[in-house]
Structure 1
Amino acid sequence: MIVRTLAEAAKEGRRIVSPDGNWESTRLLLRNDEMGFSFHITTIYAGADFMLHYQNHLESVYCISGEGEVETLADGKKYPISPGTIYILDKHDKHMLRATKEMTMACVFNPPLHGKEVHNKDGAYELEAESIGG
């Protein structure tokens, strides 16, 4: 059994802050935990407005707190995000994420992240990244 707290994970170097200042993410479950997915608690800062395109991963995102919207770029549809909303990027959807109020999100990635990933120029995470603790 694996048991971790958010505070312990942050102290263990599992808290990653984006270089562009849009978000921070504490990665509670990673590839080296061998569960087949990773689980993160991510904060999207108020005023953030940025493009993402997870070409190598599928992601589910559940809003715990805050407000914003996600826009799918293929069709321009905008979806409001508020507590209790989940959005699922099941087709590697290229999208814009906007936070009108700071959002706390629970995120699941498949395949799992290694731990130190930040978005590349295309808004994606690389498949082979540096692992936390190794």
Structure 2
Amino acid sequence: MIVKNLKDVIGTKDEIRTDNWVSRRVLLKKDGMGFSFHETTIFPGTETHIHYQNHLEAVWCIEGDGEIETIADGKKYALGPGVVYALNEHDEHWLRGGKEPLRVICVFNPPLTGNEVHNEEGVYPLVHDELSSTI
């Protein structure tokens, strides 16, 4: 069994911070679950281009406000407590912070290793390592 507390992630190498968001990566590839599990806060007034070409992501909004806009069709979706969205088709999108910090819980498949940040195209790299053959 794996038991972790979010407070034990804060301030460690598993807390990744950019100008737009902070992601606390609670379960990672090394944990062997086949997915990774994160608590992320999107900062107010920010805009992040995201295109997960190598990962599927499900996001549950639990606090704050924001917006997601799919680039292919320009559709905009309001984000707030209780909203879940899933990037089941590697949907390229803009994620925008609203007036309040947007706190979300994210699940990635395949799992992240922990230090990923978006490249210039909004992509997280796909990392291959010794765990790939065991999951």
After TM superposition, the score normalised by the length of structure 1 is 0.92
Comparing both structures, which one devotes a greater share of its residues to strand?
A: 1
Distance 1:129 1:17, change over 3 A: farther
% identical aligned pairs = 52
Query: In 2, Cα distance between the equivalents of 1:51 and 1:14?
Result: 22
Superposition RMSD in Å: 1.3
What is the match of residue 103 of structure 2?
104
What is the match of residue 40 of structure 1?
38
For residues 1-134 of structure 1, the aligned pairs below 5 Å read 1-18=1-18, 21-100=19-98, 101-128=100-127
Query: In 2, Cα distance between the equivalents of 1:15 and 1:26?
Result: 4
Amino acid at match of 1:113: L
8 A contact 1:43–1:102 mirrored in 2: yes
> After superposition, what is the alpha-carbon deviation per residue over 1:5-49, rounded to whole angstroms, capped at 9, x for unaligned?
01112244211112xx00010000000000000000000000111
8 A contact 1:55–1:124 mirrored in 2: yes
3-state SS of paired residue (2:115): coil
3-state SS of paired residue (1:59): strand
8 A contact 1:114–1:129 mirrored in 2: no
8 A contact 1:116–1:129 mirrored in 2: no
Structure 1, unaligned runs of 5 or more: none
After TM superposition, the score normalised by the length of structure 2 is 0.91
* Equivalent pairs, count: 128
Runs of 4+ residues deviating >3 angstroms: none
What is the match of residue 132 of structure 2?
none
Query: In 1, Cα distance between the equivalents of 2:94 and 2:44?
Result: 14
Structure 2, unaligned runs of 5 or more: 130-135
Query: In 1, Cα distance between the equivalents of 2:82 and 2:116?
Result: 26
3-state SS of paired residue (2:13): helix
